[in-house]
Structure 1
């Protein structure tokens, strides 16, 4: 299919000349003699590119350009200008024109500019397609009320330049939320840079974040840009921010407040336009009380708080998620996706998923590989996921004949489970349960055999 060109000019001889040349070059050509006619032709003929004269009676080229860009923002427009009106052409370029051509027209220049504009449009379309696929790949999937509420929060927060603090347990999809915020922000074409604060040794994190100059330390044999500088014009995602040391927290606070920083060992102040998104599976309010996190940094990051719910609070999403994960496995393996029998799905619903969505994804990958048939049945599900099937809340509970002792055993098992869900944080578990942390510690301590008690 040949590209379609719309020529808009009040000079018939120019239109006739361009139509003949472009038709000979393989283009499909339409024409209009004024701006109003041009807008109608765009609507009916859907051209791939517009050649638009600046000086026309009635609606001039600049006005026509603005109207085109309102309705068809991705349609490339090349302005045609007479001698002495270069300033107007530059203004038109600022209004969205791809380029401008000066009369008398050079045919070679016309063809080259049209081809450049069409190539640029193709690249834009490819980028939009890739961005759409990226959004689909990294979106938070599900139809539960909890996920719908989360997606509303994301859509409200994304266009803002304000910092976002994402909280939630490990495996809930905090990075997916951060990527979605970036994709729908005002800087989606900018870089999305991730730094995992828990994975970097304490003596290296300043260099990773802010870079270093040559000779800053023995291993610094060359200048190195840090993540903060690399993220300029885009988003910096600080994962596991609760594990950042206090000294680096102070440097991060200054960088966020001033939008400037210095490389390690350097004296030059560098400006960086960075949006900050942070995430933590820790209770930062608790960490502040413990003296492990700076309160002023917390308030800088927590401008827009977003909480990602655990999978156990959105179990109605499990069928959707399993289908997505199994389909992805099938695509990678280039075979058909497996289905899950209703009895197997019931087992997945009954499980509490301490590892959240990540655990479910890993299980689906395992089942896709290990189950030979096209359907995953209940007996294909590994035994740890058979909750409620010949199992008890805690081992031997129903064998205890004394109610008081059985109550104590259940309480111990219950508290241990809640502490486990909070990654061993007794304070956080006690806060969620609304009880005194000291009581939790005493109860767990009493249940732990002492050395002299072990025979």
Structure 2
């Protein structure tokens, strides 16, 4: 880890010197301020990675200083230093924006670990802000691994080309739809992006969905229906799970791809559509061709400009960034603080094979955010299948979602009971907003 800059705001010079002496050889640069006003001034010029803030300062309260620091830089982690017996105020500080707190007298090794953990979180936050500041069409693709850098370069190159037909392949959950949307965003400023899942509709409906149908063209067709190709004119048509498209429809799609001309069902007039077609599949289409399940001519027509979405197991260095990104998203959605992911948990997640890829990781982060908001996520908090030696614990727990719901219901009912049924107090105890608590009560069908 590169050198961390830490600002200590505390009116006890002996304590500051003790911390400075203990951390001197830990690649941590420590700066001191002995009052709230001095601390705020130093903070604005120093821009530290981490702040240690005493709750009891001579000129103003630590909570007041915390509010000013968060207003200046909401993302800078602040660790509160509380006196013995002042835990209640420290917990209040965490609810008001502090990342964590430590109580005097504290173990210096514990403080060092806490500082480094906060510093790592700050580094990841900076990387996320950098990634988000990049061009809009790639800002949603999170990661800085070699595979992702190559993918971004390919998206840029293909998106700025004249390619009209693109094939994205990759395992389920690798973000193929996100790649398709990124390609669209590069080429078009304001144009339709129309998506269809080829596996979600029966054969007799896919043709009507794609090409449209005239009134009376088939049973139940009581009015003229515009197809998705028509709706996507001058934009992008995204065909997800193209490998599931029935053979009869494949032939009609091939005809359209050859000249961008089509006929609606029951229609006699040919229509043209200026459409970029992006197809995606989690299958090996070459194997499907060999098995007779996919047309060879359509495969070669689609595979002119191929893109491969990397599996999460091939880009494990991105896991920490992804986890923090999703944590922020779900915490905002739930109205709570994101969990703090310990180094042990991140290391453990990197050893997991991730058969469900990013979609599976996103689901896991959502569970941990719901169950442990604002807490440090430790290995013990992970479901069994994500713990060490995953090969011996790969048994799928089909009832896991109900276990999570039962645990969540238990926590909510316990908080409501302790708070006499007052939802505002219960929400505060759970570390979430009143609105988030109300939504969970409705979702879990809790009868009050």
TM over 0.5: yes
Query: Which residue matches 1:215?
Result: 216
CA distance in 1, matches of 2:138, 2:362: 14
Query: Which residue matches 1:172?
Result: 174
Query: Which residue matches 1:184?
Result: 186
When residues 366 and 156 of structure 1 are mapped into structure 2, their CA distance, relative to the original with a 3 A threshold, is: same
CA distance in 2, matches of 1:300, 1:204: 24
Q: Deviations over 1:162-220 (max 9, x none)?
A: 211000000000000000000011x3311000010011111111001101010001111
CA distance in 2, matches of 1:330, 1:137: 23
Q: Deviations over 1:229-287 (max 9, x none)?
A: 10000000010001111110110011111111111111121111000100000000001
Query: Which residue matches 2:434?
Result: none
Q: Is the 8 A contact 1:262 1:270 kept in 2?
A: yes
Q: CA deviation at 1:373?
A: 4.3
When residues 138 and 253 of structure 1 are mapped into structure 2, their CA distance, relative to the original with a 3 A threshold, is: farther
CA distance in 2, matches of 1:274, 1:256: 9
Q: Is the 8 A contact 2:319 2:350 kept in 1?
A: yes
Q: CA deviation at 1:394?
A: 9.2
Q: Is the 8 A contact 1:325 1:364 kept in 2?
A: yes
Query: Which residue matches 2:149?
Result: 148
CA distance in 1, matches of 2:362, 2:273: 37
Listed as ranges, the matches of 1:89-168 within 5 Å are 135=136, 139-162=140-163, 163-168=165-170
CA distance in 1, matches of 2:394, 2:373: 34
Q: Is the 8 A contact 1:138 1:179 kept in 2?
A: no
Query: Which residue matches 1:388?
Result: 389
Query: Which residue matches 1:200?
Result: 201
Q: CA deviation at 1:392?
A: 4.4
Query: Which residue matches 2:329?
Result: 328
CA distance in 1, matches of 2:363, 2:191: 31
1:363 aligns with 2:364: yes
Query: Which residue matches 2:351?
Result: 350
CA distance in 2, matches of 1:338, 1:160: 42
Computing the radius of gyration from Cα coordinates, the structure with the larger value is 1
CA distance in 1, matches of 2:296, 2:219: 34
Q: CA deviation at 1:137?
A: 8.7
CA distance in 2, matches of 1:324, 1:199: 30
Q: Is the 8 A contact 2:169 2:307 kept in 1?
A: yes
Q: Is the 8 A contact 2:138 2:152 kept in 1?
A: no
Query: Which residue matches 1:250?
Result: 251
Query: Which residue matches 1:274?
Result: 275
Give the 3-state SS of the residue equivalent to 2:224 in structure 1. Answer: coil
Q: Deviations over 1:17-70 (max 9, x none)?
A: xxxxxxxxxxxxxxxxxxxxxxxxxxxxxxxxxxxxxxxxxxxxxxxxxxxxxx
When residues 188 and 256 of structure 1 are mapped into structure 2, their CA distance, relative to the original with a 3 A threshold, is: farther
Query: Which residue matches 1:375?
Result: 376
Q: Deviations over 1:308-346 (max 9, x none)?
A: 110000000000000100000111123322210111112
CA distance in 2, matches of 1:355, 1:338: 22
Q: CA deviation at 1:136?
A: 6.6
Give the 3-state SS of the residue equivalent to 2:204 in structure 1. Answer: coil
CA distance in 2, matches of 1:141, 1:282: 24
CA distance in 1, matches of 2:308, 2:183: 13
CA distance in 2, matches of 1:378, 1:153: 37
Most deviating of 233-242 and 363-372: 363-372
Aligned residues: 263
CA distance in 2, matches of 1:172, 1:313: 11
RMSD of the TM alignment (CA)?
2.2
Q: Is the 8 A contact 1:139 1:177 kept in 2?
A: no
Instruction: Flag structure 2 segments of 5+ consecutive residues without an equivalent.
Output: 1-131, 396-448
CA distance in 2, matches of 1:176, 1:252: 23
Q: Deviations over 1:344-403 (max 9, x none)?
A: 1121111110000000000000110012542211111111101327x74999xxxxxxxx
Q: Is the 8 A contact 1:261 1:269 kept in 2?
A: yes
Q: Is the 8 A contact 2:133 2:139 kept in 1?
A: no
Query: Which residue matches 1:404?
Result: none
When residues 315 and 299 of structure 1 are mapped into structure 2, their CA distance, relative to the original with a 3 A threshold, is: same
Give the 3-state SS of the residue equivalent to 1:160 in structure 2. Answer: coil
- Which of structure 1's runs of 4+ aligned residues deviate more than 6 A? 131-134
Q: TM-score, normalised by structure 2?
A: 0.56
Instruction: Flag structure 1 segments of 5+ consecutive residues without an equivalent.
Output: 1-130, 396-455
Query: Which residue matches 1:313?
Result: 314
Q: CA deviation at 1:139?
A: 2.3
